[in-house]
Amino acid sequence: MIKKEIAVVILNWNGKALLEKFLPSVLEHSEEAAIYVADNASTDDSVEFLKAHYPSVKIIQNKENGGYAKGYNDALKHVDEEILCLLNSDVEVTQNWLEPIYTIFKTEPKTALVQPKILDHKNKDYFEYAGAGGGFIDKFGYPYCRGRIFDAIEKDVGQYNDTTQIFWASGACLFIRKSVFEVLNGFDDSFFAHMEEIDLCWRAHNLGYVTRYVGTSAVYHVGGATLNATNPKKTYLNFRNSLFAITKNAPKNLFLLIFMRLVLDGIASLKFLTEFKFAHIWAVLRAHGNFYSNFTSLLKKRRVLRSQLLKESVSKYYQVESIVWLYFIKNKRKFKDLN
């Protein structure tokens, strides 16, 4: 590849330490790509560090910290390459990680989004929570992955070294055609962070685009470097944004789905109660409160999105009815046991 058609865009917010640790692997193994760091109005010396030590890296300075969603929406307006890789700042890439993904884009015109295998940087024999071997959702919008269902993480023994169609690609390392990103009008800014990639992939799915997982490309993700799993804010964003995505994108029986989510989220709150996680119970309540206060605007977005659909392009978005039932009641811990 003489002309660089790939842009690796790393979103940064006060992450100088992460850039010091992980940017070298990106530069070493990404000769085919132009490397960007999009800074989300950091207050540390990240930008000065990049200018002093990595002059080849292109810097985009956003005017505010709009989270993952708005941060990338603002930054990608300044990127011209056709294939975009949205890469978390806490990801270590590997040799030849770009080549198999580039090949997919060049040989499969309908493929719009791609995710590599995502392994745990802290325990490299295991998949990482955020994406693992490719993402799916159940009928009620709960996400799960090949290699990760709720907190059950599989060891990588080559079981997901394949290339296959998935429903959503992880925002930790998400490839997308720039032309498709523009057709979709990017991420929904209102998500701020968490599950905005699921909403994006769902909208792409509804328009007939394909999302793929490429297991011959691997990266290692720390996970939770900005907001860890024990933080109630993460619980709030995950529960709220899941409801946002369902309301915007689910094809039918919307009010029944919302009612069922109310019941299931209530059960989740009871689980938090047994674990004495009172801040997480409050986070779930706040998530629902914010969802209902935004319900009218979400219905407007839904009407716009539904008006854009071609009837024949919309297909079933879920493989299992309830991942909650299968995991907590049927004790299914691995993806291969779900069907």
DSSP codes of every residue in 242-277: HHHHHHHH--S-HHHHHHHHHHHHHHHHHHHHHTT-
321 within some domain: no
Co-location of 12 and 152 in the same domain: yes
Q: Assess if residue 331 is contained within a domain.
A: no
What's residue 228's pLDDT? 62
Name the one residue in this structure whose structure tokens are 């059960």.
Answer: 267
Rounded Cα distance between 153 and 144, Å, is 11
Verify that 164 and 192 share a domain, yes or no.
yes
> DSSP letter at 155?
B
Boundary (domain end) residue, out of 160, 192, 221: 221
Q: For the domain that residue 208 is a member of, what is the CATH number?
A: 3.90.550.10
Using the predicted structure, report yes or no on whether residue 312 has a pLDDT greater than 90: no
8 Å CB contact between 32 and 10: no
Same domain, yes or no, for 242 and 102? no
| Beta strands 83-87 and 210-221, pairing class | unpaired
Residue 234: strand, helix, or coil: helix
Q: Which residue range forms the structural domain that includes residue 138?
A: 6-221
Q: How far is CA 200 from CA 115, 140, 161, in A?
A: 14, 17, 25
Residue 316 pLDDT level (bands cut at 50, 70, 90): confident
Type and span of the H or E element at 22: helix 16-28
What average pLDDT does the segment 71-86 reach? Answer: 97
Q: Are 325 and 272 in contact (CB under 8 A)?
A: no
Q: Residue 339: its pLDDT value, please?
A: 78
End residue of a domain, out of 221, 254, 275: 221
Please tell me the pTM assigned to this model.
0.95
Tell me how many domains the chain contains. Answer: 2
Confidence of residue 1 (pLDDT cuts 50, 70, 90): very low
